[in-house]
């Protein structure tokens, strides 16, 4: 296991942002994807929600805290959150809804962070941590491989060739497809953030389990060429990219719009 030397950036009094001094392992959507989701959400925040978020994290954009959950889980203090970033659901099986103060998956973790943020008896620091986790997990649940098959660990055990390079299927959907566009997250947001009023209303009218089911349904498309290759390693290139990039872009846009909707509901009342 790679070890990390951690540096600390203060966010507000009593709050710290852990940043790895070496490159972090891949995370859902990669750093740019998470920043895109947060930046899109920020464009759609109500003024009161924006103000209350500023009170928690200071004068920083949401994009700055979007990777905190991945950095936190790599610390001794945050290791307990490792299973909060995903959920394993078999094909054609419905997620068994549950609510817990001791989460074992991403849906339970999202519900817990929302309850903490709505609880006025919680401390400023508890609210800040819950916000950072919520921001990250809403992006995670929109990445189809984070609603994975336990048999291959959400695609981590599936090796493919991506334009000749050997990568696993999970990291392909985390980072490589998006990075193939060679855009910064701010450039990509400028190209992507054009949801209609009807789309915004429709997407924000759904909830965590709905988003899980969407990712689960998309999984079938993702595995088509891998299953077709049988025991051989699938070789993926432009055809796969052209089919995948519209899915990636829609999921990122939906995640940003829905993140804004949740934050507006929590903070904007």
Average pLDDT, integer, range 159-173: 96
Band of pLDDT at residue 96, cut at 50, 70 and 90: confident
Average pLDDT over residues 118-146: 97
As to burial, measured by CB atoms within 10 angstroms (0-12 exposed, 13-18 middle, 19+ buried), residue 96 is: exposed
Q: φ, ψ for residue 166 (rounded to 5)?
A: -80, 120
The pLDDT tens digits for 241-258 are 999 999 999 999 999 999
The pLDDT mean for the chain works out to 89
pLDDT in tens, 1-54: 333 233 333 343 334 333 333 333 345 678 999 999 999 999 999 999 999 999
Total-model pTM: 0.88
Mean pLDDT of 70-93: 94
Domains contained in the chain, CATH given? 26-267 (1.10.575.10)
Contact between residue 263 and residue 45 where contact means Cβ atoms under 8 Å apart: yes
195-223: pLDDT as tens digits: 999 999 999 999 999 999 999 999 989 99
Quote the pLDDT of residue 28: 63
For residue 12, the model assigns a pLDDT of 39
Q: Residue 181 pLDDT > 80, yes or no?
A: yes
pLDDT band (50, 70, 90) for residue 269: low
Q: Say what the pLDDT of residue 131 is.
A: 98
**Cα–Cα separations (whole angstroms), residue 29 to 61, 158, 190, 230, 255:** 18, 18, 18, 27, 11
* Tokens 């009342």 belong to residue: 269
């Amino acid at each position: 296991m790679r070890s990390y030397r951690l540096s600390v950036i203060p966010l507000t009094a009593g709050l710290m942002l852990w940043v790895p001094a070496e490159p972090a392992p891949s995370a859902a959507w990669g750093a740019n994807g998470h920043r895109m989701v947060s930046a899109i959400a920020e464009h759609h925040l109500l003024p009161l929600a924006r103000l209350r978020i500023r009170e928690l994290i200071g004068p920083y954009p949401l994009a700055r805290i979007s990777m905190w959950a991945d950095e936190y889980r790599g610390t001794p203090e945050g290791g307990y959150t490792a299973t909060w970033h995903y959920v394993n659901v078999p094909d054609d099986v419905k997620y068994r809804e549950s609510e817990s103060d001791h989460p074992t998956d991403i849906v339970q973790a999202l519900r817990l962070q929302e309850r903490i943020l709505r609880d006025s008896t919680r401390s400023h620091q508890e609210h800040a941590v819950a916000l950072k986790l919520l921001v990250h997990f809403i992006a995670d649940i929109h990445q189809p491989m984070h609603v994975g098959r336990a048999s291959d660990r959400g695609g981590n055990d599936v090796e493919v060739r991506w334009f000749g390079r050997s990568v696993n299927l999970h990291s392909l959907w985390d980072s490589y497809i998006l990075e193939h566009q060679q855009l910064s997250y701010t450039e990509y947001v400028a190209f992507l953030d054009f949801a209609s009023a009807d789309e915004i209303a429709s997407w924000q009218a759904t909830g965590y389990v709905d988003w899980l089911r969407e990712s689960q349904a998309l999984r079938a498309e993702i595995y088509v060429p891998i299953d077709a290759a049988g025991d051989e390693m699938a070789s993926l290139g432009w055809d796969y990219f052209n089919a995948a990039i519209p899915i990636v872009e829609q999921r990122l846009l939906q995640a940003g719009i829905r993140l804004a909707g949740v934050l507006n509901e929590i903070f904007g009342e």
